[in-house]
Amino acid sequence: MAEVAQNGKVDNLLLDVHGLKKYFPIQKGLLRRVVGYVKAVDDVSLYVREGETLGLVGESGCGKTTASRSIIRLYEPTAGQVLFKSRVLSPDGQPRMVNLLELNREQMTKVRQEIAMIFQDPINSLNPRMTVADIIAEPLVIHGKYQKGRSEEIIVNLLERVGLRADHLRRYPHEFSGGQRQRIGIARALALNPRLVLCDEPVSALDVSIQAQTLNLLQDLQKEFNLSYLFVAHDLSVVQHISDRVAVMYVGKVAEMAGAEELYANPLHPYTEALLSAVPKPDPLYKSERIIMQGDVADPAHPPSGCYFHPRCRYAVDRCKTEAPAFRELKPDHWVACHRAEELQLKGI
């Protein structure tokens, strides 16, 4: 497999995604003729450093989930490069950057030990006919790492680490509440000692008090096991809380990516500004100018010309209608795709 040079500007990278694209064909008629494409993910570039959390936010249908699934090739990407610093694929055990999209099936299975996933729906992501012990053991079995006795010990430890008890082992998922089920999902994700965890809306199905418990747990585990998270969510407050850096997506493209604090305080993209202003604040005396974005999110099958956000953007000029903005690093570690990013004075929180 081709070894790829590390991105020179950013150090300590674990995941480096370049120009990732995933187009779903629209088929029509008897012959399943392809009449168009839904550009669910269209030229996404982002990176995750070791031990950090990158939040990925955006409205529903913007391609957050598709992007995270394309990274681990649950969807086969149309184009792009996904560089991941892998240990298992390196002959001498030294972590080395590999392009996941060039791996064959066998290598891909191997590398999935290092990339785990936590799903949104704690009910449907657990097999109802398996006990908790079987669910958590399954990744170990698949990768041939299950050893009688020793593995059982690991499983009990994991279960206790996520806040469940050893006597829960023989129970089935339906016997647990939503928050507990999400903990089982987290324990399963950690069974193989991954380095990167893709969290796809892990707390959006949970109640606020359980959500807080789960977020705290994820943060503790990150410190303990030196995990990196790609945290996909639509709740901006949750994302700000858990992320070191945040990427904002709009209709298949990354609009802006920066450190969490920087992004929320000094947004450079009008979409980020509007999104932040629309978040309802839990304070009855807070009076803000809400920027009400007109209309709906653009249809990724028929996106507008130029900048995809221009029909809803209040700063749009003629150039935005014709020319798609490039995703560029305007300030150190602050990336944005907007023609007018330099001149606009946008309001953060």
Partner 1 sequence: MSTPSLATSLETSDRPTDVRQTLIEVRDLKVEFNIRGGVVKAVDGLTFDIKRGQTVGIIGESGCGKSVTARAILRMVPRPGKITGGEILYYRYSRYPGKDGKTKDIEVIDMTKLDPDGELVRQIRGGEIAMIFQEPMSSLTPVYTAGAHLNEAITLHRLLPVKTLGDQMVEKIMEYRPVTKDEARAIAIEMLRRVGIPKPEQRVDSYPHQLSGGQRQRVMIAIALSTEPYMLIADEPTTALDVSIEAQILDIMRELQQTANMAIMFITHNLGVIASMADEIVVMYMGKQVERAKVVDLFYNPKHPYTQALLQSVPKLGPKTGARLASIEGMVPDPLNLPTGCVFHPRCPAFMAGKCDKLIPNWTNVGDNHWVRCLLYEE
The residues binding partner 1 (CB under 8 A) are 59-60, 177, 179-180, 207-213, 215-216, 219, 234, 236-238, 240-242, 260-261, 264-265, 274-276, 278-286, 290, 292-293, 295-297, 349
d(CA 86, CA 36): 36
Nearer to partner 1 by Cβ, of 146 and 315: the residue is 315
* CB of 48 vs partner 1, minimal distance in Å: 19
Tokens of 193: 């000692």
For 223-246, the DSSP string reads HHHT-EEEEE-S-HHHHHHH-SEE
Strand segments, DSSP code E, in the chain are: 13-28, 33-49, 53-57, 79-86, 96-99, 115-118, 196-200, 228-232, 245-250, 253-259, 328-331, 334-336
Nearer to partner 1 by Cβ, of 209 and 345: the residue is 209
Nearer to partner 1 by Cβ, of 51 and 95: the residue is 51
Using DSSP, state whether 5 is helix, strand or coil. coil
Sequence letter at residue 163? G
* CB of 102 vs partner 1, minimal distance in Å: 36
* CB of 241 vs partner 1, minimal distance in Å: 4
Placement of tokens 């990427």 in the chain = 247
* CB of 306 vs partner 1, minimal distance in Å: 20
* CB of 333 vs partner 1, minimal distance in Å: 16
**Helix 178-190 and helix 132-142: axis angle, to 10°?**
20
Using DSSP, state whether 260 is helix, strand or coil. helix
Nearer to partner 1 by Cβ, of 195 and 312: the residue is 312
CA dihedral 150, 152, 153, 158 (to 10 degrees): 130
Nearer to partner 1 by Cβ, of 20 and 276: the residue is 276
* CB of 209 vs partner 1, minimal distance in Å: 4
Nearer to partner 1 by Cβ, of 224 and 323: the residue is 224
